[in-house]
Amino acid sequence: MPKRRRAILGGRSNTSRPPKAWTRWHEYAACADVPSHLFYGRESESAAERAAREAAATAVCARCPVRSQCEAHAINLPEPYGVWGGTTEASRRNHRQWARTHAYSEATRAS
């Protein structure tokens, strides 16, 4: 079973970490000054609260100049929690499931 990563306190706006070259796009993100609780829900939130929070978070993502880098980061890492690059936890999970199924279909066709 893969080891779960822990969230970093302060989330996206945590400036105590020096940026690495591959994360420099964080500096230009529209969410840099937005509280992280908009992007990460609490465990006890209802489905309606989650939907409203995710809609507000994706609205921030819609105007972000580095949205594509953020989305690629979330899908390739994979980032299991929160809204990243306009994608939700569920949409990224569905994307990974589709990619696994599609890769399996391609492999079986090739053999």
* 31 annotated ligand-binding residue: yes
Q: Which sign, positive or negative, has the C-alpha torsion 48, 95, 74, 59?
A: negative
* 64 annotated ligand-binding residue: yes
* 61 annotated ligand-binding residue: yes
Long-range pairs, 46-55, Cβ under 8 A, ≥24: 54/83, 54/88
Residue 84: φ, ψ to 5°: -135, 130
* 70 annotated ligand-binding residue: yes
Q: Helix 67-76 crosses helix 89-110 at what angle (to 10 degrees)?
A: 60
Which residues make up each annotated binding site for [4Fe-4S] cluster? 31, 61, 64, 70
Binding residue positions: 31, 61, 64, 70
